[in-house]
Amino acid sequence: MYKLIAIDIDGTLLTDDHKVTDEVKEAIRQAKIKGVKVVLCTGRPLVGVENYLTDLELREEGDYVISFNGAFVQDTYTKEVISHLTLGIDDLKEIYQVSLDSNLHMHFFDDKALYTPNREIGKYTIVEAYLTGSQLIFKEIENVPEDFIMSKAMFIEEAPELEAGIAKMPESFKEKYHLVRSTPFYLEILNRDASKGNAVKELSEKLGIKQSEVICIGDQENDVTMLEFAGLGIAMGNAPDHIKELADYTTASNNDSGVAKAIQKFVLDK
């Protein structure tokens, strides 16, 4: 029997117009009634998840959320922080210099806001602020305090420009941080140990849930680590082919309530 389901948000839980279908809501509700832990696991900051936690009734005792691509794990009922893998001011300065050398826009998060050092703000920074409900603040790197604690940084650009920038990055930079593409136009830079897979592993161990009892559902590169960790890794029908190939099962698309269909098949026996 499966005891924990970790669900990505964008492209997985949500339709393309950022809605949760009634079918998905009902499947999650029934899974919870059956005693299964349902954990949203996203690259978004916590503020970008809050409404979905409320809407899906995932703020009850024993509920958890994973945000910032695994860098942040929290008990949504008590607000206790289970894990927060961060980066510091020296990391931020290095990341900023690489963004300049690679000719890429960037932005970065702490637990309060979204910041950009770019006077000409990248359009995907504006998109990110809108989608996640994050306060967007212009802040030059020299004005960031020395004790700044960063949850993640992101390079944002159209896919060809982003790929060209990645090709320019030194190997030492790629090895020092966990770099992952969450969309074709986002490259996320995280603490080396931060990933969705590690976060789901840590949480399942804390809860006494075996790896074989975990389902993970996702659609993009930043979901790979949790799909690989899961006892049952499920790719969305809208996922790229290489994500489907590494998953154990492919469900319907996000626009066709693929999360609900997966829960119905493997948890609710429908």
Cα separation, 154 vs 165, in Å, equals: 13
Model pLDDT, residue 229: 99
Q: What is the pTM of this model?
A: 0.96
Distances (CA, A) of 57 to 33, 137, 208, 251: 11, 31, 23, 24
DSSP 134: P
Query: Following DSSP, what letter does each residue of 2-39 receive, concatenated?
Result: --EEEE-IIIIIS-TTS---HHHHHHHHHHHHTT-EEE
| Range(s) of the chain covered by CATH 3.40.50.1000 | 4-84+194-266
- CATH of region 89-190, choose from 3.30.230.10, 3.40.190.290, 2.130.10.10, 3.30.1240.10: 3.30.1240.10
Residue whose structure tokens are 């499966």: 2
> Which of helix, strand or coil describes residue 214?
strand
Residues of the chain with pLDDT under 50: none
Asked if 114 and 47 touch (Cβ cutoff 8 Å), the reply is no
Q: Which residues contact 19 (CB under 8 A, 6 or more apart)?
A: none
Q: Is 269 a catalytic residue?
A: no
The answer to whether the CB of 31 falls within 8 A of the CB of 23 is no
Q: CATH 3.30.1240.10 in the chain: give the residue spans.
A: 89-190
CATH topology for 4-84+194-266?
Answer: Rossmann fold (3.40.50)
DSSP three-state, residue 189: strand
Instruction: Give Cβ neighbours of residue 269 (< 8 Å, ≥ 6 apart).
Output: none
As a whole number of Å, the CA-based R_g of the chain is 18
Looking at residue 270, its pLDDT comes to 75
Q: Which residue carries 């492919």 as its tokens? A: 250
Q: Looking at beta carbons, which pairs linking 242-248 to residues 24 or more positions away fall under 8 Å?
A: 243/218, 243/219
Q: What is the pLDDT of residues 188-204, one digit of tens each?
A: 999 999 999 999 999 99
DSSP string, 163-180: HHHHHHS-HHHHHHSEEE
Please report the pLDDT score of residue 150 as a whole number.
98
For 60-98, how does the pLDDT look when each residue is reduced to its tens digit (9 = 90+)?
999 999 999 999 999 999 999 999 999 999 999 999 999
Q: Is the dihedral of CA 193, 197, 202, 203 positive or negative?
A: positive
Question: 127: closest CA among 86, 185, 42?
Answer: 185
